[in-house]
Chain A
């Protein structure tokens, strides 16, 4: 069974930095074939897609509100994806989910982690 486990969340002051990690595991999970995404959910709010990275790491995309502040990266050898978050703001407070997506033979497969909470507050 595939598992994605996020870590690195916590309380940080406005203007501070945090690095989230997402570790993938599971037999038969070809991490290097998956687009990896970060999706967040502010308390009591809906889902917001934040960023994703191509399987080989050559392309990255971000929502406008985090461009220039957040950086997504991955390590295919160790099956890890990261979200470096700088210049954090109160509005970045949310549960951050890691999600992997892959299409093979016309069939899409997705896996989600359970999330890690980031709180930006003084």
Chain B
């Protein structure tokens, strides 16, 4: 099975900050990577696919990059509604494992 790791596990940031979250796969997954945002008590929200393509309606301050084993999610200017937990997920081969999540909270 492909293992997914994320760093950091949590971070504190201020509105307007640039934030970068890293996701790493235990083997190459090409660009078969999704990103999700989840707020407390809510279902996950699909943000991005094939590592860098934004889901319709997702603000352009979100961007993604990477291929192979190393990926990043960047929020260029953090907004109040962006405080949440972010998960990566590989959809290269089953089981389609998620990373452990990165919690972004207010500094």
Contacts and interface: CB of A to CB of B under 8 A. Distances in A.
Chief secondary structure at chain A's binding surface: strand
Interface string B58-85: 0000000000000000000000000000
A46 B46 contact: no
Contacts of B34: 108, 110
Given A108-B53, A113-B43, A62 B101 contact: no
Contact of A64 (B1, B98, B99): B1
A52 B93 CA distance: 12
B43 A47 contact: no
A30 B41 CA distance: 28
Interface of B: 1, 34, 36, 38, 42-46, 49-50, 53, 55-56, 87, 89, 94-101
B55 A47 contact: no
Given A47-B38, A47-B44, A107-B53, 20 more contacts: A37-B96, A46-B100, A46-B101, A47-B36, A47-B98, A52-B94, A52-B96, A61-B96, A62-B94, A63-B95, A64-B1, A64-B95, A97-B44, A107-B56, A108-B34, A109-B55, A110-B34, A110-B46, A112-B43, A113-B43
